[in-house]
Amino acid sequence: MRPLFIVGASVSVLACMPALAQKSAADGIAEYRKMLEDGNPADLYEAKGEALWKQRRGPKNASLEACDLGKGPGVVKGAFVELPRYFPDTGQVQDLEARLVSCMATLQGLNATEIVNTPFGRGEQNNVTALATYVAAASRGMRFNLPQSHAQEQRMYEIGKRVFYFRGGPYDFSCASCHGEDGKRIRLQDLPNLSKNPGDGVGFAAWPAYRVSNGQMWGMQLRLNDCYRQQRFPYPGFGSEATIAVSVYMGVNAKGAESIAPSIKR
Amino acid sequence: MADPMRIRAQAAGDKATVRVLMSHEMETGQRKDSAGKTIPAWFIQEVSAQHNGKPVLDAQWGPAVSKNPFLLFVVKGAKAGDKITVTWVDNKGDKRTDEATVS
């Protein structure tokens, strides 16, 4: 009798535990995010970015109001959901942050190389993140629609796809190891499947975001940098071709997804 | 100078809900930097709110309050068009005052 009883008890525990754990973890995090959304500190960075956008700065004492983010000089609304894209003046496909640095260099006379080499969270990099937050916020609720008409944009998509599936580093990881299938997670964090459209407000459509755990505002460049750190790859350069190519890949895949950036993350 | 606060005040019935987001580092004085040196404490110590110039809230805060604090409170008798003023003072004597109109 006794062994049978134990077997019976353990089976019932196994049967109900996974369903319970899955539901409560995802729901619990969703509830937590909902509570935090009421006072998302990303609003503070948005306000800072807006002030920086209009403020005359740099050796040329100019504002960024003439900056062309792809929809004409000074047009901010809707620009975020069409980036990265090809810019004829620089002859490159650029993402939001790389484009902002270009504008800061050409309009304000700031040193682009210096900004690119500044570590995240210091000096002008903080300003780039705040500006990116402001620009992203102007497109909140709009749907992603990256242009793919230029040959360079199509080329970057193909490169991005290769980078996404490229395995390397001491763990032999690729982006696809964690983000290539549905239903994966790291600890309690659900991972979006970025090889297809992950849906509204997930993945590419959620960054820049405020990270509650470290109290920092992160743009997509820092998000990708940290993904590579977790894969134990060498750090990619800020605004490097590889990071922009992956962004094009994720952005094109997310066509039609609603942007909720700047969002809040645990 | 400190960055501005974000204040939203919404009237419902005979009261208004005020949501305040403050921009502050809120260092506890317990953390160390990469060189091993203690980062000095730096936090908001006093928070006060006024409704059309009349004090409605007075709070004393300490280092246990999070970075970029969020404060929500309800003001009885506040209606659309009223002014809500919020002020904080930190332990370095730095202060910031912002005003919002109840909508």
Give the separation between CA A54 and CA A107, rounded to whole angstroms.
12
Backbone angles phi, psi at A50, to 5 degrees: -65, -40
* Cβ separation B23–A44 shorter than 8 A: yes
Element (H, E) at B48: strand B44-51
Which residue numbers of B have CB closer than 8 Å to A's CBs? 3-4, 6, 19, 21, 23, 66-68, 70, 72
Nearest residue to B87 via CA among B51, B39, B35, B63: B51
* Cβ separation B6–A215 shorter than 8 A: no
End-to-end CA distance of chain A: 48
Average pLDDT over residues B61-80: 91
End-to-end CA distance of chain B: 28
Q: What pTM does this model have?
A: 0.82
Residue type, B1: M
Residue A262 structure tokens: 């700047």
The residue length of chain A stands at 266
Give the separation between CA B94 and CA B98, rounded to whole angstroms.
14
User: Which residue is catalytic, options A16, A67, A178, A227?
Assistant: A227
Q: What is the DSSP letter of B103?
A: -
* Cβ separation B19–A48 shorter than 8 A: no
pLDDT in tens, B30-63: 999 889 999 999 999 999 999 999 999 999 999 9
Fold classification of A42-265 is Cytochrome Bc1 Complex; Chain D, domain 2 (1.10.760)
Give the separation between CA B27 and CA B90, rounded to whole angstroms.
11
* Cβ separation B21–A215 shorter than 8 A: no
- Provide the pLDDT for residue A156: 95
Q: A214-217 long-range CB contacts below 8 Å, 24 or more apart?
A: A215/A41, A215/B66, A215/B67, A215/B68, A216/A121, A217/A41, A217/A42, A217/A45, A217/A129, A217/A130, A217/A133, A217/A262
Which chain B residues are closer than 8 Å to A39 by Cβ?
Answer: 19, 21, 70, 72
Give the separation between CA A88 and CA A104, rounded to whole angstroms.
17
Which chain B residues are closer than 8 Å to A43 by Cβ?
Answer: 6, 21
Element (H, E) at A54: helix A42-54
Mutation site for A-interface testing, chosen from B68, B72, B73, B96 by largest number of A Cβ within 10 Å: B68
Domain spans in chain A, listed from the N-terminal domain onward: 42-265
**C-alpha neighbours within 13 Å on the C-beta side of residue A264:** 20
Give the separation between CA A107 and CA A62, rounded to whole angstroms.
6
* Cβ separation B21–A44 shorter than 8 A: yes
- Provide the pLDDT for residue A222: 94
Domain spans in chain B, listed from the N-terminal domain onward: 6-101
Give the separation between CA A248 and CA A242, rounded to whole angstroms.
10
* Cβ separation A44–B70 shorter than 8 A: no
Give yes or no for a contact between A96 and A146, defined as CB atoms under 8 angstroms apart. no
pLDDT in tens, chain A (266 residues): 444 444 444 444 444 444 445 566 778 777 877 777 778 888 889 988 999 999 999 899 999 999 999 999 999 999 999 999 999 999 999 999 999 999 999 999 999 999 999 888 888 999 999 999 999 999 999 999 999 999 999 999 999 999 999 999 899 999 999 999 988 888 877 889 999 998 888 889 999 999 988 889 999 999 999 999 999 998 999 999 999 999 999 999 999 999 998 998 87
Which residue numbers of A have CB closer than 8 Å to B's CBs? 38-41, 43-44, 47-48, 215
- The Cα angle at residue A150 between residues A149 and A154, in degrees rounded to 5: 85
Residue type, B2: A
A227 a catalytic residue: yes
Fold classification of B6-101 is Immunoglobulin-like (2.60.40)
Identify the closest residue of chain A to B8 by CA–CA distance.
Answer: A39
Residue type, B30: Q
